[in-house]
Amino acid sequence: MGLLRIMMPPKLQLLAVVAFAVAMLFLENQIQKLEESRSKLERAIARHEVREIEQRHTMDGPRQDAALDEEDDMVIIYNRVPKTASTSFTNIAYDLCAKNKYHVLHINTTKNNPVMSLQDQVRFVKNITSWKEMKPGFYHGHISYLDFAKFGVKKKPIYINVIRDPIERLVSYYYFLRFGDDYRPGLRRRKQGDKKTFDECVAEGGSDCAPEKLWLQIPFFCGHSSECWNVGSRWAMDQAKYNLVNEYFLVGVTEELEDFIMLLEAALPRFFRGATDLYRTVGKKSHLRKTTEKKLPTKQTIAKLQQSDIWKMENEFYEFALEQFQFIRAHAVREKDGDLYILAQNFFYEKIYPKSN
């Protein structure tokens, strides 16, 4: 090839370069068109599936609001944070939905944007609250917390989530963008071809491993306010803590996912009956999604990231969530022979007046 280039006249070399550039632009344009077509096809399939479900409910007869059981009117939103075992946990919900008779719906936002426009927020709230054919429903997607009370909703959905050690989450996401995982190994990832390790990225001050990339779990829990996405905002962290305690039913941690599933089954059996056994027998092997080619960072890399104020805030939020989860677990289970067991009902009613005749 080098000999051929030397023998070619300069004008022909220039023409060859221009032709190659045009060909690459054409290929990129075709790839973009294919991606747009795939996206349209996915939307069409999703609309068809929704119509089929609604028609099936219509054939079964109209549902009367007065006759709806409280549990059948329930909606759960899992606004999943990327790379926190969210796919692994969501697959449990998919495996159980037919048996436990509820619907699972993925919230697919354009380019995985976690912030919805105001008009989409209104549409989403309306869908969640009035879409009776999809109740009981389990909604999941990479979206930040949305306060339904702002829209005048009387019965709010139940929020749950899982978070992870912030550096471990960033490392996993870094390699995921380059090598994918064993869940869909053939899918081309955004940074595919970049062989640089996470350690090398941090040492060179790369943008994909910068401390700013740690800022994700706090804004996901903080919500749709502009300050939530202001990197390093103390207000955002305080709001995220407030929402975690007051607006979330339960928040688990990736490192203790089985305990999270066990607590959900005990508290919300309408959705999660059988989840613990499923996870123990099948889930640990088939559901856990592993990022390919991931290399653990060195102590020096970790120490460098931990100097950042952003890491300190994200880690403070993680430790806060972990403390809340462990507190809830301590009052819900007991350990025996190395295994955890859910406590039976530990209260009853007495001294009931007035006495019936």
Residues serving a catalytic function are 140, 142
Q: Residue 166, preceding bond cis, omega within 30 degrees?
A: no
Burial of 317 (0-12, 13-18, 19+ CB in 10 A): buried
Supply angle C-alpha 169, 319, 202, rounded to 5: 35
* Rounded-to-integer distance, Cα 158 and Cα 176, Å: 30
What's phi and psi for 227, nearest 5 deg? -65, -25
Three-state DSSP string of 42-109: HHHHHHHHHHHHHHHHHHHCCCCHHHCCCHHHCEEEECCCCCCCHHHHHHHHHHHHHHHCCEEEECCC
The count of C-alpha atoms lying within 13 angstroms of the C-alpha of 305, restricted to the half-sphere facing its C-beta, is 30
What is residue 184's three-state secondary structure?
Answer: coil
Of 252, 247, 173, the residue nearest 213 (C-alpha): 173
Q: Residue 104 in contact with residue 140, Cβ under 8 Å? A: yes
Q: Which residues contact 93 (CB under 8 A, 6 or more apart)?
A: 78, 104, 138, 140, 271
Residue 92, both tokens: 């449990």
Are the C-beta atoms of residues 250 and 328 closer than 8 Å to each other?
Answer: yes
- Side chain identity at residue 116, one-letter code: M
Q: Please compute Rg for the chain using Cα positions.
A: 25
Report how many helices (DSSP H) and strands (DSSP E) the chain contains, helices first.
14, 7
Alpha carbons within 13 A on the beta-carbon side of 356:
1
Q: Put residue 39 in one of left, alpha, beta given phi > 0 → left and psi -120 to 50 → alpha.
A: alpha
